[in-house]
Amino acid sequence: MKNNIKVAIVQDAPVHFDLAASLQKLEERIEEAAAGGAELVVFGETWLSGYPAWLDYCGNYSMWDYAPMKQVFARMYQNALRIPSPESERLGELCRKHGITLVIGVNEAKEGGRGARTIYNSLLIFDKSGELVNHHRKLMPTYTEKLLYGHGDGHGLRAVDTDFGRLGGLICWEHLMPLTRQAMHREGELIHIALWPNVHEMLQIASRSYAFEGRCFVIAVGQTFRAHDIPTELEMPAQFKDKPDAFLLRGGSCIIGPDGKYLLEPQFETEGIIFHDLQDLNRAFGESMALDVTGHYNRTDVFNLEIDKTRWD
């Protein structure tokens, strides 16, 4: 197993509500990351094709029979990623072409069967061969996200083997669900990808806590969203009418060691690719001497965790 790896965090905005244009931007960022020597490339929550940050700013969306919101939802659905599809295959081809492992958040939709016309907040992991090795749907949409997203399942609560160790990930407030955390700790992650829209102070705490608890490296991935990205169907909030470039999402991406300390300090209002050489991965095993929540610090005679990993469809 490799003991060092170069990581590229893409802290940037997609082309909102435009899957094709977002894929083009993604391809450019992956090419740039690969040219910089990255082996692991990560994008934030629902990067394809856009996190709905406007939910926290545009109040009328919650009204019954609000036509503009229905139009926004229809655009989200139409520009969501289908799996499998030519678009999802393209992600695998990029990984194969550049020899990278990719972790990315997507808006996912299905065309038929259970969950048709539902949008899922999903996390995908593609390995260097281009294979989709994990497909996780967020278990519980966070707060206002419940207006847009369906419930996920336990199928993707797993880590995958790579040449730099076990790799897994969770989405946003899944990091605040104790049993979900424990399910992933049982997977033996060496590197954990924490996908967020915006890694503000409390989410920095959650990311650091996950690293300390799981004795693993955590790459917390944020993204940017500016006022001009708010859907045109919705009324621009008053505080942004004269500030189209104001940040609604400020990024905050960072990397944390298995002792809970920063290896890469939070990066706010920085757009583009953030490179970091992640070194001495074996240190995670030494840190487990003090705490191993699935091993010597686990009381299986007292607690029993059962996980249903059935894919609903």
What average pLDDT does the segment 4-10 reach?
A: 97
> How does pLDDT run across 72-101, given as a tens digit for each residue?
999 999 999 999 999 999 999 999 999 999
Report yes or no on 300 lying in a domain: no
Quote the pTM value: 0.96
pLDDT value for 61:
65
Q: How many domains does the chain have?
A: 1
Q: Percentage of the chain with pLDDT > 70?
A: 98
Q: Which domain, by its residues, includes 266?
A: 5-287
Choice between 266 and 234, residue whose per-residue pLDDT is larger: 266
CB atoms within 10 A of CB 77: 14
Residue-wise pLDDT for 44-62, tens only, equals: 999 999 999 999 887 766 6
Q: Is residue 301 part of a domain?
A: no
The answer to whether residue 296 is domain-embedded is: no
Catalytic residue list = 45, 138, 172
Residue 272: which CATH number?
A: 3.60.110.10
Whether residue 116 is contained in a domain is answered as yes
pLDDT reported for residue 62: 65
